[in-house]
C-alpha cells in the first residue's frame, strides 16, 4: 500500500522546513553575536541593573540549565539561575517589616526556657511558685507573663498539668485514629508574574500514607470548607475513620474550618506556637514535595480541585 502526499501536506512540510531553517539562522546569529561580545569584554565585568537581571532570570528559568549552555550566553547558566533563586527569596524577605515593629519587647529566651523547664519538672507548681523561683535567680516576671509562656508551649495550669500526659503518650494512645494536615508552597512564573501556589497535604500517622488534598493560589475560607467536606466524606474521605487531626496555628485553619471538622466527629489538635518538632512527619513530607516541585510543568499536572490519594511516604 503506497502513501501519497496530498498537495496541501507537501506545502505544509516545505513551510515548516523553511521556518525551522529561519529559526536556526537566527539562533546562529545570536550565538555569533554573543561570542563577539565575549571577545570584546574579555574578563571585564558587565554591569546590569536589577530589572535587566530579572528579565534574564525569568527567560533563563524557562530554558533551563542545559539549553542555556547551548545558547552560549554572556553569563553562565549557574549565574542566571542564581538570579532567579534570588528573585524567589526576595519575595519572602520580610526583614524590613521586622525592623519596623513596635510595642512590647520580646521575652528573653533564657526566661522562656527556664519557665518551661520549671513547669515540666514540677507539675504542682503554680504561677506564683514559678515566679518566685525565677526571682531567686534574678528574673522578676509577673504571673500573666508566665501564663502566656506556658499557654504558648501547650502546658496546662498546675491543677491540670499533673493529670495531663506528655505529647508522646498522647500520640501513642491515639495512633490509629490520628492524622496530620499541613501546607507547603511552590513558586511558579505565570502570565501575571511570580505566583505562589499553596499545596495542602494530609497524612495518616500510623502508616505515613500521604494524600494530596488540593492546590490553589488563594486558600480562603470557602476553599478550605470545600476541602474539609471532601476529607470527611463518609464513603471514601481521608478522615472517615479518624478522631483527631493535628494542625499548626496557620490562620488558614480558621475557627469555621475547625468547627466544621468537629461537627463531622474529627477533633482538631492545634499545636503550640513555634513547635515544628511536634509535627516532624508532616514537615518532612512537605519539605520533600517542595524540593521536587521546581518546574512549572510539574505543577500543571495538578488540578485546582481536591483529588484522591496520589502517593505514599515510607516510615
Q: For the chain, which residues make up each domain, given as ranges?
A: 17-90, 109-164, 170-312
Distance CA 175, CA 228 (A): 21
Residue 98: the pLDDT is 55
Residue 292: the pLDDT is 53
Q: What is the pLDDT of residues 108-148, one digit of tens each?
A: 889 999 988 888 777 778 888 888 889 888 888 888 888 88
Residue 218: the pLDDT is 92
Low-confidence ranges of the chain (pLDDT < 70): 1-6, 8-10, 19, 26-27, 39, 42-44, 72, 95-104, 158-173, 275-315
Residue 253: the pLDDT is 92
Instruction: Tell whether pTM > 0.85.
Output: no
For the 170-312 domain, the top CATH level (class) is alpha beta
The three state secondary structure string of the chain is CCCCCCHHHHHHHHHHHHHHHHHHHHHHHHHHHHHHHHHHHCCCCCCCCHHHHHHHHHHHHHHCHHHHHHHCCCCCHHHHHHHHHHHHHHHCCCHHHHHCCCCCCCCCHHHHHHHHHHHHHCCCCCHHHHHHHHHHCCCCCCHHHHHHHHHHCCCCCHHHHCCCCCHHHHHHHCHHHEEEEEEEEEEEEECCEEEEEEEEEEEECCCCEEEEEEEECCCCHHHHHHHHHHHCCCCCCCCCCCCEEEECCCCCCCHHHHHHHHHCCCEEEECCCCCHHHHHHHHHHHHHHHHHCCCHHHHHCCCCCCCCCCEECCC
Place of cell 510595642: 103
Residue 275: the pLDDT is 67
Amino acid at each position: 500500500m503506497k502513501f501519497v502526499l496530498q498537495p496541501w501536506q507537501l506545502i505544509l512540510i516545505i513551510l515548516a522546513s523553511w521556518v525551522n531553517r529561519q529559526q536556526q539562522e537566527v539562533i546562529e546569529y545570536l550565538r555569533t553575536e554573543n561570542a563577539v561580545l565575549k571577545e570584546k569584554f574579555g574578563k571585564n565585568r558587565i554591569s546590569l541593573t536589577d530589572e535587566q537581571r530579572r528579565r534574564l532570570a525569568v527567560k533563563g528559568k524557562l530554558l533551563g540549565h542545559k539549553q542555556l549552555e547551548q545558547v552560549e550566553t554572556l553569563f553562565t547558566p549557574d549565574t542566571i539561575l542564581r538570579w532567579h533563586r534570588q528573585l524567589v527569596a526576595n519575595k519572602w524577605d520580610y526583614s524590613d517589616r521586622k525592623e519596623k515593629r513596635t510595642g512590647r519587647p520580646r521575652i528573653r529566651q533564657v526566661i522562656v526556657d527556664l519557665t518551661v523547664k520549671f513547669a515540666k519538672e514540677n507539675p504542682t507548681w503554680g504561677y506564683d511558685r514559678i515566679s518566685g523561683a525565677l526571682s531567686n535567680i534574678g528574673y522578676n516576671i509577673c504571673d500573666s507573663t508566665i501564663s502566656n509562656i506556658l499557654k504558648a508551649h501547650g502546658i496546662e495550669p498546675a491543677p491540670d498539668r499533673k493529670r495531663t500526659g506528655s505529647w508522646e503518650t498522647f500520640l501513642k494512645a491515639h495512633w490509629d485514629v490520628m492524622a496530620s494536615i499541613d501546607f507547603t508552597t511552590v513558586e511558579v512564573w505565570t502570565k501575571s508574574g511570580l505566583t505562589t501556589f499553596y499545596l495542602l497535604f494530609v497524612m495518616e500517622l500510623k502508616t505515613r500514607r500521604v494524600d494530596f488534598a488540593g492546590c490553589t493560589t488563594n486558600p480562603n475560607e470557602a476553599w478550605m470548607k470545600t476541602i474539609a467536606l471532601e476529607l470527611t466524606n463518609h464513603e471514601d474521605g481521608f478522615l472517615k475513620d479518624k478522631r483527631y487531626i493535628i494542625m499548626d496555628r496557620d490562620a488558614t485553619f480558621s475557627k469555621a474550618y475547625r468547627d466544621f471538622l468537629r461537627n463531622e466527629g474529627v477533633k482538631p489538635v492545634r499545636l503550640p506556637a513555634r513547635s515544628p518538632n511536634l509535627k516532624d512527619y508532616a514537615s518532612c513530607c512537605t519539605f520533600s514535595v517542595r524540593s521536587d516541585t521546581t518546574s512549572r510543568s510539574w505543577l500543571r499536572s495538578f488540578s485546582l480541585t481536591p483529588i484522591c490519594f496520589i502517593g505514599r511516604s515510607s516510615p
